[in-house]
């Protein structure tokens, strides 16, 4: 059963462009090396340009677990750690119904 993750990250003012660049690199790595990741999309809040949200869908728990252990995830964490204005807010969601 697919697993959805919503990850909200707030960055320090002035760090938006640097975060976006790191986010785009991360998406490229996920696309090429994580076949179990069904969706990995970065959004920016239209009312608060320092707030970003990742929408992630994994085919199963194993794919989610694998994502967290990749070298590119570790590198991404290193790139963005100093840009964040607090801890990310992560919600792991289990699908109930679909159209």
The pLDDT, as a whole number, for residue 98 is 80
User: What pLDDT digit, counting tens, does each position of 23-47 carry?
Assistant: 999 999 999 999 999 999 999 999 9
- Give 3-state DSSP helix, strand, coil % of the chain, rounded to 5: 40, 30, 30
Examine the pLDDT at 89 and tell me if it is beyond 90. Answer: yes
- Cα gap 37→24, rounded to integer Å: 15
Taking residues 60-76, what's their average pLDDT?
A: 94
List domains and CATH numbers for the chain.
Answer: 3-94 (3.30.70.100)
DSSP lists the bridge partners of residue 41 as 55
Q: Given pLDDT bands bounded at 50, 70 and 90, which one contains residue 11? A: very high
């Amino acid at each position: 059963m697919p697993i959805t993750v919503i990850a909200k990250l707030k960055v320090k003012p002035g760090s938006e462009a640097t975060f976006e660049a790191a986010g785009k690199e991360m998406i490229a790595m996920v696309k090429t090396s994580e076949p179990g990741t069904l969706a990995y999309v970065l959004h920016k809040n239209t009312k608060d340009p320092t707030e970003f949200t990742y929408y992630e869908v994994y085919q199963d728990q194993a794919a989610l677990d694998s994502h967290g252990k990749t070298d590119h995830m570790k590198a991404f964490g290193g790139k963005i750690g100093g840009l964040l204005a607090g801890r990310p807010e992560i919600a792991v969601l289990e699908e109930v119904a679909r159209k």
